[in-house]
Structure 1
């Protein structure tokens, strides 16, 4: 079996080291998209970093005569048009590998903001002993956490919150029961859930339906001045509405790993917003070894005719590909 690999520079070393231990597979490591058409002429599988998928790369994938399996090295699948792959072809993302690390990042932001670590770091640089902030700190123990989007990342976060005895409300498309959640609510009833939230974590895909889902009206539904965490896509949040909500105190604090636009322009008002931690889209950082192990396992599964992990169904792809114009 021949596999084409076009990973990002960050994931390449760990992948090379791990895949070198797999016998019987011919790997074609290519350095850029210009080599993709040639390599896909004889490849049965393509393993690729999603940021590298531009229109030309997608066209090469659509024309690949022998391609049977497309494995993404990221969790999002919104760049894959629903009609790109045939019914006989397999699409997988890497959500199972990346979810624990992204969930860890979300929890880190929650704890840092609740305990005021951002303000204490700033105080130290000015040699200030701000013991007076003790009364403003929050405990996550027993808090109500609303997780909007309860896929692999949301469920991983739920498992991390369990030891803190948080009450977890999962927001899903249909509101069906979720084993890792204390309650599950359909997206249509999200405002009632937000009114109960001490913290809100966004882990849902970006679609036409979720673009600017968190806007001024939605922030007004947040009765308890919650902490807002976004580790999904920046455009799910109306950035200027969030800036206003932070300044008025309607949102108590926010931790954003993604923003819109991204990167944030130098003069954007969000840079000076209070009670805000920004990280530069790095929530999956540190997961390269886990990703390499995951890819190695999926290669073995595919080679032996077994169901690969994190397979994306046609229905999931259709939903995730409903991107705004």
Structure 2
């Protein structure tokens, strides 16, 4: 089990994380979602000792990663699939990893088969690998010691549709076998398909957390669908009243109770054609609703806080497997 307890990270006056707390349970896949610059990568680096928190801590069954007797046997990590020596072959990369973990060399062939890299591909230099092949190699490295916990950042990046389906099944099978999975991704639909629990962060803060279904139910319980004779004027009036409204293809979806929306329309003498509580929404819709205004990459927004902690440069800056 992973527990993040009031984790904060500050770079000078800039805050990358602010009192972030959540848990990842055994037998479940937890999806970590947020826009660019939200703090996801910083959080994962802190988890595996590549960055030091300014406050708070992350533990694995009560023990910080850096205090685990053999971290690679407990936690399998892939944070950057491109962080492999380009002059080595895939087989060499995995063989070195296996030796570092005290594993027999036969484990290299086992994980190559598991991730779908052929013998011929394993003999190629990593610099000649496609992005998808690098992803598979990074995943193989993380799986070497058959760890209970998996922490993957964008594992489906560069994979073709069959590869995306494969990684989805791999993570689900690992959780069903009693493992713990933390998955960070911008592929919201893929996270929705595989995740049991969700943690949504923006601007370094936890915006929402819970089971996937409960979270969606909670998020839509105060949403309203409305259509009127003048939706542009209604959206403006709702914004002035402090309610966010966005077009939904029919009318507007508003983050407010129907009574509040009706009151605004009545005050502005806008005739309504439809007014009801939202029946439900997708994870993607709620993601954009919750994180609107927190994305650091928007024009005029602040620059993203760097994920690299200068104090951790003595570590491998591009960890793809929990090898120490």
Q: TM-score scaled by structure 2?
A: 0.26
Higher strand share: 2
Query: Which structure is richer in relative contact order (CA contacts within 8 A, separation 6 or more)?
Result: 2
Q: Rg bigger for which structure? A: 2
